[in-house]
Homo-oligomer: A and B are copies of this chain.
């Protein structure tokens, strides 16, 4: 069931994002650069989580598509900027040249800036949402992705290079860098779907564990994954002197941690008391993914 859902939603999202970008009047090279990174694909976990949370509360899909596109645009901009020479200096992403390698640094910076800004336009120019919903989504997304959220995460991550971190420090980085956008996605979908404030808090807890789960599995795959599947050399975290869960807890300890997070995510979901089979399947999907 999750497989069909993922395939169906991913193709709708891709179509919507491309339509958004083609509907804008932008210089040709800038459009190409933006489309290049949007079309590079990826798992679309954030927007899929948003759509699944919306459906869990009985929300209509067409009301959740705009914020789903917005969160993926923000995620895509962050990858473009993080790959820049001054940041993580990556030449390849998902087997293709990174944006600044395919175009140039200036274009990559501007493509990122353009995508980030467009995310807020996609939400506020949408016809299916009320003003109250647009304000909620813009406020929460700007907080989750900005200097208190995802941008802080990238800053902390760069400052941590070559340092050995405690588990608390490691989790603080992940909570900001990947956790905040995942949290936003689940909460935004539930909000549009009609969750009440108590349910929103439970979905938030679920999403926080999803975020941690996501990261532990990332670190585990770097130790035991298949290079062809994860899209980067196995063991690159060690080579890059990155602090990871397996390094801090051992591989066994990391797997135990992952299972603990999965259980807690499941418990939070049960408390929210919704038709949650999609959200439940997402726990296993993220926990067991191979890339």
From B107, B120, B132, B138, contact of A155 by CB (8 A): B107
Asked if A145 is at the interface of the complex by the 8 Å CB criterion, the answer is yes
Mask, A191-217, CB within 8 Å of B = 1, is 000000000000000000000000000
Stretch in A23-31, A42-50, A235-243 with 4+ CB within 8 Å of B: A23-31
Residue of B27, B31, B109, B117 near A87 (CB, 8 A) is: B109
Residues A142 and B113 in contact, CB atoms below 8 Å apart:
no
Q: Mark A16-40, 1 if CB is under 8 A from B, else 0.
A: 0000000011110111001000000
Contact assessment for A86 and B104 in the assembled complex, using a CB-CB cutoff below 8 Å: yes
Q: Which 9 A-B pairs have the closest CB atoms?
A: A114-B147, A117-B146, A86-B105, A121-B142, A124-B139, A131-B131, A120-B142, A26-B147, A124-B138
A272 to chain B, nearest CB (A): 26
A234 CB-CB contact with B under 8 Å:
no
> Across the two chains, which residue of chain B brings its CB closest to A141?
B120
Chain A 114-166 residues near chain B, CB threshold 8 A: 114-118, 120-121, 123-125, 131-132, 134-135, 138-139, 142-143, 145-148, 151-152, 154-156, 158-159
Bound-state CA distance A123–B123 (Å) is 14
Task: Tell me, in angstroms, the Cα distance from A87 to B108 when the chains sit together.
Answer: 11
A-B contact pairs, 5 of them (CB 8 A): A27-B155, A84-B109, A113-B146, A124-B135, A124-B142
A72–chain B nearest beta-carbon distance, Å: 16
Question: What does the 1/0 interface line of A75-119 toward B look like (CB < 8 Å)?
Answer: 000000100101100000000000000001111011011111110
Which residue of chain B is the closest to A125 with respect to CB atoms?
B139
Residues of A within 8 A of B (CB): 24-27, 29-31, 34, 81, 84, 86-87, 104-107, 109-110, 112-118, 120-121, 123-125, 131-132, 134-135, 138-139, 142-143, 145-148, 151-152, 154-156, 158-159
Q: A105-B86, A151-B113 are in contact. Are A159 and B121 (CB under 8 A)?
A: no
Residues in B whose Cβ lies below 8 Å from that of A125 = 139, 143
- CB distance B106 to A158 under 8 Å? yes
Residues of B within 8 A of A113 (CB): 81, 112-113, 116, 146-147, 151
Q: How far is the CB of A136 from chain B (nearest CB, A)?
A: 8
* Identity of the chain B residue whose Cβ is nearest the Cβ of A149 in the assembled complex: B117
Q: How far is the CB of A31 from chain B (nearest CB, A)?
A: 8
